[in-house]
A = this chain, B = another copy of it.
């Protein structure tokens, strides 16, 4: 119930498999490596067109292990973080020590932006898996914006994107039922994984029910129950952290589960598509391991 103690040292497994796709360029076992501007843009999904490839600016990587904190609330702000690989959560801590999950940053996401205003981080970031992060000192970023007009716009764009995301979040919390929230959460995870080259149909949750609940404004029990319900009516398959998406469209459009009397009917309406054997490159299980990507 309290701020999940976070084991601080789980899965110390060193990188298992390596890979060398385009974006993964600047990465290597433990060693802090460096990315250049182009790589940075690619990861952030920013048009890197007009970027001079001869740009010598380099950005340092840092690794964090599961459970480690990247920054805490109130800590002086000076750098932004971009997720190169791994999964995290950002949280607010209320006066009683309760966590409120704000986001689950993953590859391509930037976090720490909330520190710009007050020069102190307004939230806390914790690694949910081993992570490889790119450090982006704010001063450097600002300078970069000045040097490359393109990049400047990109900065604004990323911040704007984040704002839109938060708006969607507010909207969801303000208006949707528990089922709809969980459904949307699954859909967005699915899409996010697809973006990253993982399977959008079969993946493992990196966060606990408690964290999901906090993120969605629900209790862990409600999350658990809702997942079970989705499982029963055939929208998904659930087994602990493993989720199989069976009917994405239904999840996408779900607003409210039929009032349990009509529940049976709904089950039938699930256009028995269970035939389609879900698969595809599954998400790395052993963390930090083989990114069995496309």
Task: Show the binding face of A for B, using Cβ within 8 Å.
Answer: 92, 94, 98, 100, 102, 113-118, 122-123, 142, 145-146, 149, 152-153, 155-164, 166-171, 173-175, 214-217
Contacts and interface: CB of A to CB of B under 8 A. Distances in A.
A152 B145 CA distance: 10
A153 B98 CA distance: 33
A118 B162 CA distance: 12
A166 B168 CA distance: 10
Contacts of A100: 170-171, 174-175
Given A92-B167, A122-B167, 5 more contacts: A94-B171, A113-B163, A114-B163, A122-B164, A145-B145
A122 B156 CA distance: 15
A216 B217 CA distance: 13
A163 B153 contact: no
A142 B152 CA distance: 8
B156 A217 contact: no
> Sorted from nearest, which 4 A-B pairs have the closest CB atoms?
A116-B160, A174-B217, A166-B166, A117-B160
Considering residues A123, A157, A163, A166, which has the most beta carbons from chain B within 10 angstroms of its beta carbon?
Answer: A163
A166 to B, nearest CB: 4
